[in-house]
Amino acid sequence: MTERIGFGYDIHKLEKKRKLFLGGIEIPYRFGLKGHSDADVVLHALCDAILGALSLGDIGEYFPDNVQQTKNKRSTYFLQKIKEMADFSIINVDTTIIAEKPVLHKYKNKIRNNIAKLLEVKKDNISVKAKTNEGLGPIGEGKAIACYAVVLVKI
């Protein structure tokens, strides 16, 4: 067995009349993330991290944003399909969500538990952190949310 690291990143603009999903959890907020799917930056970054660790490319290669089959799809679906692509196990996941608003502190544990459930690992193997951008750039101006994800897999 070999251990491999993968890194993922995603960012989406916030817009009205959309639900906000982070880590597969709906977060109450007056804005949601703009995207072809549910635009869940946490799961998109995680998908890219897993694909990177497996040397399988990126999420856009498998779930393009210009086809009807992925329109309004939940990102939990993408993660499930990626789990079926190769024989691997997750050792641990580390995510950092960058959002000025909403304040995510009280949702971090829910997101962590959900990611653990989706990946079928213990929650102790999942880390979810939330940071602001200190008022800088589109994230700091409350116009976007981003996420970084690192994953260690065994193949």
Domain boundaries, the chain: 3-96+105-143
pLDDT at 26: 98
Query: Tens digits of per-residue pLDDT, 47-83?
Result: 999 999 999 999 999 998 888 888 889 999 999 999 9
CATH number for the domain formed by residue range(s) 3-96+105-143: 3.30.1330.50
Q: What is the mean pLDDT of residues 125-154?
A: 98
User: Does the predicted model carry a pTM greater than 0.95?
Assistant: yes
pLDDT bin (cut points 50, 70, 90) of residue 118 is very high
pLDDT of residue 69: 85
Question: How much is the pLDDT for 108?
Answer: 98
Q: What is the mean pLDDT of residues 10-31?
A: 98
Two tokens, residue 27 = 């977060």
Q: What is the mean pLDDT of residues 27-42?
A: 97
